[in-house]
């Protein structure tokens, strides 16, 4: 049996993020006092330590902030190596690690700041946000 | 804290590189025994222990030491630099008198001393590992493209980092890789994590090292053949548990905070540094280090290295043992960077730089997770 890709284990604090992702929605916590989204999820604001946090679906649009093309595949990734490990800057501000889909893993196809949109990929019983380039 | 304590014993394991017949624990213990001999201090006098690799309690027990000061700080490869800083503070505060700092790692032969992986419920387990990250090379270089883009540094300049360090390694019989290389050689080596090629990534080796620290007063009274190396200033800092959460992918906050603190405590500036070690797990780290520590301006590090200023005879000799790229890299390299600073200050390095009085040793932990910086000096620097 081929090894599976690593599966996240939600904690009570991150569960809303993972439940939304499983529904196909990218939801992030937002501090109402700071009027700002943040990532990764915490039940308090990393900037003001306020606890008035709401979960909101974000646009799913972002840009390719930086990346590498990995030739040393992790378990479960052998078939798709080399593959892109990217930092995506979301339109709403926060940055997150992700993978890119629907694009050749070549430098020519991947200029920095390339516009992206979210979709979801299965990891065990959960889904993780991944990103696909869109026409600018 | 300035010059409150000194390194009076230092040794690496007799063999480094490929050592399939010694465990991580034995590499640490062998180095510890050699460092104690170097210091002329009996193990019965050791009352403090620090270790990276096998835990300090394991190393202390193996050596028959009952410590009353224990430091297991493990924040990645720079941990031995933090151990030095903490030991100096502990000695100054009277917690202990003789601290033994050890490292042993069997990174290549895999005989113990493994680095624990983060579990699936940790931040990294949830927000990085599902994207196919694994060893350092799948994470550490993720900011390189942004760095090149924003600073105008070229891939040729990046490739010059291993090229120039190989010049130092070629003068060091203990270095694992000693044959000169060119930028073309770097580009011809396989891509490991674009934009980095194999020759822009560190080695994976076995090895150990140890240090003995005492108060400056005691160091001055020891009367050993090798002079004490004083800790003039030190800093440490952390940024975050995941490389993906860096505030700025082109500069390390931990580097800046740690470096500033070390210079401040030493009362020195980059212009005072005769010799520099910057932990080089990957080729971009010396570039980040030179800029974030203030040795050059933003975007100037690539040209600085390419123009030869860090080479033998240059104005800022850098990574003079060959570094993690060419000398040795057990997985957590910091101890070996300190050892080279000590050798240069004692005047006993394989590729000795003439007249080194101030050496800076800067380390990174995790993937820009943490940093620590030591400013080390000879007796002559105490009055500066």
- Could you report the predicted ipTM of this complex, rounded to two decimals? 0.98
Percent of chain B clearing pLDDT 70 (strictly above): 100
- Give the model's confidence band at A136: pLDDT under 50 very low, under 70 low, under 90 confident, else very high: low
The domain limits of chain B are 5-111+203-383
A74 pLDDT higher than 80: yes
Active site residues of B: 78, 329
Q: State the best of A66, A78, A112 to mutate against chain B, taking most chain B CBs within 10 Å.
A: A66
* CATH code where residue A101 lies: 2.40.50.840
| Digit-coded pLDDT (tens) for B24-40 | 999 999 999 999 999 99
Residue A35 falls inside a structural domain:
yes
pLDDT at A80: 94
Q: How deeply is B174 buried, as exposed, middle or buried, from its count of CB atoms within 10 A (0-12, 13-18, 19+)? A: middle
Inter-axis angle of helices B24-39 and B56-63, to 10 degrees? 60
Q: Apex CA B352: angle with CA B350 and CA B356, to 5°?
A: 145
Is residue A5 assigned to a domain? no
Q: B288 vs chain A: nearest CA distance in angstroms?
A: 16
Exposed, middle or buried by CB within 10 Å (0-12, 13-18, 19+), for B91? buried
The nearest CA of chain A is from the CA of B294 a distance in Å of: 24
Q: Quickly name the fold that domain B5-111+203-383 has.
A: Peroxisomal Thiolase; Chain A, domain 1 (3.40.47)
pLDDT by residue (tens digit) across B281-312? Answer: 999 999 999 999 999 999 999 999 999 999 99
* Tens digits of residue pLDDT in A78-106: 999 999 999 999 999 999 999 999 999 99
Mean predicted lDDT score pLDDT of chain A: 96
Residues across chain B: 384
Whether the model pTM is above 0.90: yes
**SS3 at position B62:** helix
Which pLDDT score is estimated for B223?
87
Residue A37 lies in a domain: yes
Stated as kind and residue range, the H or E segment containing B263 is: helix B253-266
Taking the C-alpha atoms of residue B34 and residue B269, their distance in angstroms, rounded to an integer, is 34
Number of domains, chain A: 1
B345-382 pLDDT tens trace: 999 999 999 999 999 999 999 999 999 999 999 999 99
Residue A99: closest C-alpha in chain B: B131
For residue A104, being part of any structural domain is answered with yes
Looking at the complex, report in whole angstroms how far the Cα of residue A51 sits from the nearest Cα belonging to chain B. Answer: 20
Contact A9 B125 (CB under 8 A): yes
- State yes or no: pLDDT of A1 exceeds 70: no
Q: Is B302:B157 a contact under the CB 8 Å cutoff?
A: yes
> In the β-sheet with A27-31, what is the strand arrangement from edge to edge?
A36-37, A27-31, A53-57
Using the predicted structure, report yes or no on whether residue A2 has a pLDDT greater than 70.
no
Range of the domain at A109: 15-133
Contact status of B271 with chain A (Cβ, < 8 Å)? no
| Overall average pLDDT of the B240-246 stretch | 96
Q: Is residue A91 part of a domain?
A: yes
């Amino acid at each position: 049996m081929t090894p599976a890709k690593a599966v996240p284990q939600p904690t009570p604090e991150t569960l809303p993020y993972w439940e939304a992702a499983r529904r196909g929605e990218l939801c992030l916590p937002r501090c109402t006092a700071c009027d700002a989204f943040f990532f990764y999820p915490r039940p308090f604001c990393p900037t003001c330590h306020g606890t008035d946090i709401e979960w909101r679906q974000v646009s799913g649009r972002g840009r390719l902030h930086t990346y590498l093309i990995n030739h040393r595949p992790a378990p479960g990734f052998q078939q798709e190596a080399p593959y892109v490990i990217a930092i995506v800057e979301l339109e709403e501000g926060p940055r997150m690690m992700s993978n890119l889909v629907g694009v050749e893993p070549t430098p020519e196809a991947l200029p920095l700041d390339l516009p992206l949109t979210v979709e979801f990929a299965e990891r065990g019983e959960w889904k993780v946000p991944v990103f696909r380039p869109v026409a600018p | 804290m300035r010059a409150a304590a000194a390194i009076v014993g230092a040794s690496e394991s007799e063999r480094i590189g490929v050592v399939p017949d010694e465990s991580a624990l034995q590499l640490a213990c062998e180095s510890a025994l050699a460092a104690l001999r170097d210091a002329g201090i009996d193990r019965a006098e050791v009352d403090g222990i620090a270790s990276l690799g096998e835990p300090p309690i394991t190393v202390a027990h193996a050596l028959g030491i009952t410590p009353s000061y224990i430091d297991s700080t493990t924040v990645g490869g720079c941990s031995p630099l933090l151990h030095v800083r903490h030991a100096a503070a502990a000695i100054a505060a009277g917690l202990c008198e003789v601290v033994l700092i050890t490292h042993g790692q069997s990174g290549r032969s895999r005989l113990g001393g493994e680095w624990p992986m983060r579990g699936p419920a940790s931040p990294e387990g949830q927000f990085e590992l599902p994207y196919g990250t694994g060893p350092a090379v799948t994470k550490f270089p993720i900011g390189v493209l942004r760095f090149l883009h924003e600073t105008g540094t070229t891939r040729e300049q990046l490739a010059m980092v291993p090229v120039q360090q190989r010049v130092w390694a070629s003068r060091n019989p203990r270095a694992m890789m000693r044959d000169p290389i060119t930028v073309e050689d770097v580009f011809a080596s396989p891509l490991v994590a674009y934009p980095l090629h194999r020759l822009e990534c560190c080695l994976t080796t076995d090895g150990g090292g140890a240090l003995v620290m005492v108060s400056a007063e005691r160091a001055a009274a020891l009367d050993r053949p090798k002079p004490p190396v004083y800790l003039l200033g030190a800093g440490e800092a952390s940024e975050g548990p995941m490389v993906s959460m860096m505030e700025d992918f082109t500069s390390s906050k931990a580097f800046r905070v740690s470096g500033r603190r070390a210079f401040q405590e030493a009362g020195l500036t980059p212009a005072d540094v005769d010799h520099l070690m910057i932990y080089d797990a990957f080729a971009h780290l010396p570039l980040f280090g030179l800029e974030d520590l203030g040795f050059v301006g933003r975007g100037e590090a690539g040209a600085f290295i390419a123009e030869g200023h860090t080479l033998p005879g240059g104005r800022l000799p850098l990574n003079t043992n060959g570094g993690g790229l060419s000398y040795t890299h057990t997985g957590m390299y910091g101890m070996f960077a300190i050892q080279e600073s000590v050798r240069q200050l004692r005047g006993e390095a394989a590729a000795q730089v003439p007249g080194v009085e101030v050496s800076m040793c800067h380390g990174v932990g995790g993937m820009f997770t943490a940093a620590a910086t030591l400013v080390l000096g000879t007796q002559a620097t105490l009055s500066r």
